Amino acid sequence: MNPTRVLWLAAATGVLSACMAFGAQDQRIGQLAKEVAGKGWIVYAARSAENETWDLFVMRPDGAQRRNITNTPDQEEGGPRFSPDGKRLLYRRFPKGTVIHHDLWGFQGNLVIAAADGTNPVEIGANREHPWASWSPDGKQIACLTLKGIQVLDLETKKIVRQLPRKGIYQQLFWSPDGQWFCGVANARIMWTVVRMDAATGALNVVHEFQSCTPDWFPDSQHIIFPSRPAGQKGYGFTQLWMSDGEGKEPTMIYGEDGYHIYGGALSPDGKYVLFTRCRDDGGGSEKSGAPICIMRLSDAPAIGGPSPALRRLHPGAKDAPVLELVDGWEAHWTYAEIGVKE
Amino acid sequence: MKATLVRRCIRHSLKAAPLLWPVLLLMVSCARHVDTGEDANVTSRGSFEVTARLEEIRGNLIDDPMYDYAHVMKYEVLRVHRGQIPEDTMYVGHYNPAKPRDRVADARVPEIGGNVRRFRVGDLHRMALEVPIDEHYMGGIINKYFGEIEDPVYWAIWTNKVAQ
């Protein structure tokens, strides 16, 4: 056969294979979108196209039925969390023009509790009060991380009913769904260590050291999801999404992609799906306009996106998981409850 | 001839005097004045006030605009102005030490400052302090002495340079 013809044939085969692979990947993403479409709602903060401030939005997990539930041109909102029963939301409200700092937002602005559809927002406390608020399992209390310690506030009486030493935890406190633990970011042997605290005794254990942050609970209260930027990467490196059990044994990567920082890790209420953001900039993008919110199946972990040759060498068993990319946003949270948003 | 020359010199000197006097006064003033770092902030803020020599900075000072942290440094205590500090050596956490003190206050730590522009081993600092650091600051801490010392870590509220 003519050598030129052989080359053309090889190139055409390559292009065809790539198209088929992309087509297959598209099909897998489509299947994932169908699978999650009817599974409740996702709430997240994003810049409003109308007023350019940060507002809160909800959408179905396939990205459908997106709507702005705060729509406040004179304020910024962020950090929404559904209550465990999915009936209410807590979030923070900031003065218009506030730069929402990815590490400071829990200290910034006012704590607000509203109905899950964003109606009836009520400010709880003053500016900068009740920092890093997190729901108790029954939704009647919130735990806050203050300089004085971890404070448990009763929402009906607005009284602090309990206080524990914070033992070096300095941001991103979350109460476990079973109420037995807290997780957060602490100064332990080194800073940026994800820790777990026994909510009854205050005993603390290290979950993951070194450049790890924004931890959150799995629904089983036994595992923790957290972003981590491991050592040994070329240059500054990229933040990946990891998980570990509460004792810090056998940490494993969930998703990584060289060129992107993966933040905002959270689980669906049944623990089958993972929410995260995929951002070119470190920090998750709260200072600008967020980053694409993504969904993947936990059963597809560990997964690697993009070419990421160095990462693939480190994790040879990682998969090419279908990742459903939704809209740009920040700090998304998921409920399976029907939240009463009007169609 | 000689007398004329002398008279001319005196006349020129007198003409230049208005310009020379301030320079001379400044020189005398500088020679006599020792900058102790004392000012209204360092003498009133915090519960402790010391003059101390920066003895050691372990690790590199990170200048990363994305992240805030305090870096623990070792000092030799030379004089205690306020409070009781029993040891000759103390450990002090400085917030975002790569930034000049007059530009370091931010949303996380709004009320700190001073006139130190760079942290250099051997420099003398007059500092207003609190202790322990965890009761006054909630953020990342680089403490390269972790596990090595039992001493409390102080939190620097105001840090002025002392002329040596």
Lookup result for tokens 């790539």 = A18
pLDDT per residue, tens digit, chain A (343 aa), is 566 665 566 556 655 555 555 577 789 999 999 999 999 999 999 999 988 999 999 999 999 999 999 999 999 999 999 999 999 999 999 999 999 999 989 999 999 999 999 999 999 999 999 999 999 999 999 999 999 999 999 999 999 999 999 999 999 999 999 999 999 999 999 999 999 999 999 999 999 999 999 999 999 999 999 999 999 999 999 999 999 999 999 899 999 999 999 999 999 999 999 999 999 999 889 999 999 999 999 999 999 999 999 999 999 999 999 999 999 999 999 999 999 876 5
- The residues on A that touch B, with CB distances below 8 Å, are 101-104, 107-108, 145-148, 166, 168, 170-171, 187, 189-192, 282-283
Q: Quick check: helix, strand or coil at residue A149?
A: strand
**d(C-alpha B71, C-alpha A36), whole Å:** 46
The domains of chain A, with CATH numbers, are: 25-335 (2.120.10.30)
Question: Are B21 and B61 contained in the same domain?
Answer: no
Whether B43 maps to a domain, the answer reads no
Nearest CA in chain B to A108: B107
For residue B116, the model assigns a pLDDT of 98
**Considering only residues 49 to 88 of chain B, which have any Cβ-Cβ distance to chain A shorter than 8 Å?**
66-69
Phi and psi angles of residue A339, each rounded to the nearest 5 degrees, phi first:
-90, 5
Out of A170, A192, A282, the one facing B138 most closely (by C-beta) is A170
Question: Are B118 and B141 contained in the same domain?
Answer: yes
Question: Which helix (H) or strand (E) element contains residue A258?
Answer: none
B69: pLDDT strictly greater than 50? yes
Question: ipTM of this model?
Answer: 0.87
B107 near A CB under 8 A: yes
For residue B33, the model assigns a pLDDT of 56
Whether B42 maps to a domain, the answer reads no
Instruction: Please check whether residue A261 is in contact with residue A249, taking contact to mean a CB–CB distance below 8 angstroms.
Output: no
Q: Which residues partner with A143 through β-bridges?
A: A134, A152
Select the residue from B62, B63, B66 to test the A interface by mutation, using most A Cβ atoms within 10 A.
Answer: B66
For residue A24, the model assigns a pLDDT of 75
For residue A277, the model assigns a pLDDT of 97
If one counts every other C-beta atom within 10 angstroms of the C-beta of residue A33, the result is 18
| Of B100, B101, B93, B85, residue with least CA distance to B137 | B93
Question: Are B71 and B142 contained in the same domain?
Answer: yes
Mind telling me how many Å the CA of B116 is from chain A's nearest CA? 25
Whether B38 maps to a domain, the answer reads no
Q: Is the peptide bond before A73 cis (omega within 30 degrees of 0)?
A: no
Question: Are B55 and B102 contained in the same domain?
Answer: yes
Query: Which chain A residues are within 8 Å of B135, Cβ to Cβ?
Result: 147-148
Select the residue from A76, A128, A170 to test the B interface by mutation, using most B Cβ atoms within 10 A.
Answer: A170
pTM of the full predicted structure? Answer: 0.88
Instruction: Please check whether residue A142 is in contact with residue A155, taking contact to mean a CB–CB distance below 8 angstroms.
Output: yes
Question: Are B60 and B140 contained in the same domain?
Answer: yes
- Cβ-in-10-Å burial (0-12, 13-18, 19+) of A246 comes to buried
Question: Which helix (H) or strand (E) element contains residue B23?
Answer: helix B2-32
For residue B24, the model assigns a pLDDT of 47
Question: Which helix (H) or strand (E) element contains residue B163?
Answer: none
Whether B12 maps to a domain, the answer reads yes
Question: Are B91 and B143 contained in the same domain?
Answer: yes
Question: Are B60 and B14 contained in the same domain?
Answer: no
| C-alpha of A138 from chain center | 22
Whether B56 maps to a domain, the answer reads yes
Nearest CA in chain A to B144: A190
Q: Which residues partner with A243 through β-bridges?
A: A225, A252
Whether B115 maps to a domain, the answer reads yes
Whether B73 maps to a domain, the answer reads yes
Lookup result for tokens 């608020």 = A133
Question: Are B62 and B4 contained in the same domain?
Answer: no
Q: How many contacts does A have with B, using Cβ atoms within 8 A?
A: 39
Q: Is the peptide bond before A302 cis (omega within 30 degrees of 0)?
A: yes
Q: Is the peptide bond before B22 cis (omega within 30 degrees of 0)?
A: no
Cα dihedral value B94, B97, B103, B108, nearest 10 = -60
For residue A236, the model assigns a pLDDT of 92
User: What is the bridge-based pairing of β-strands B69-82 and B140-142?
Assistant: parallel
Domains contained in chain B, number: 2
Question: Are B19 and B58 contained in the same domain?
Answer: no
User: In terms of pLDDT, which residue wins out, B1 or A265?
Assistant: A265
Question: Are B4 and B76 contained in the same domain?
Answer: no
What CATH number is given to the structural domain containing B91?
A: 2.40.50
Question: Do A168 and B134 lie within an 8 Å CB cutoff?
Answer: yes
Query: Which chain B residues are within 8 Å of A107, Cβ to Cβ?
Result: 107-108
Q: Quick one: tokens of B81? A: 């102005």
For residue A297, the model assigns a pLDDT of 98
Question: Are B22 and B94 contained in the same domain?
Answer: no
Select the residue from B62, B136, B138, B141 to test the A interface by mutation, using most A Cβ atoms within 10 A.
Answer: B138
For residue B64, the model assigns a pLDDT of 87
Whether B156 maps to a domain, the answer reads yes
Q: Quick check: helix, strand or coil at residue B5?
A: helix
Question: Are B22 and B67 contained in the same domain?
Answer: no
Domain that includes residue B100, residue range: 48-162
What band does B31 get if pLDDT is binned at 50, 70 and 90? very low
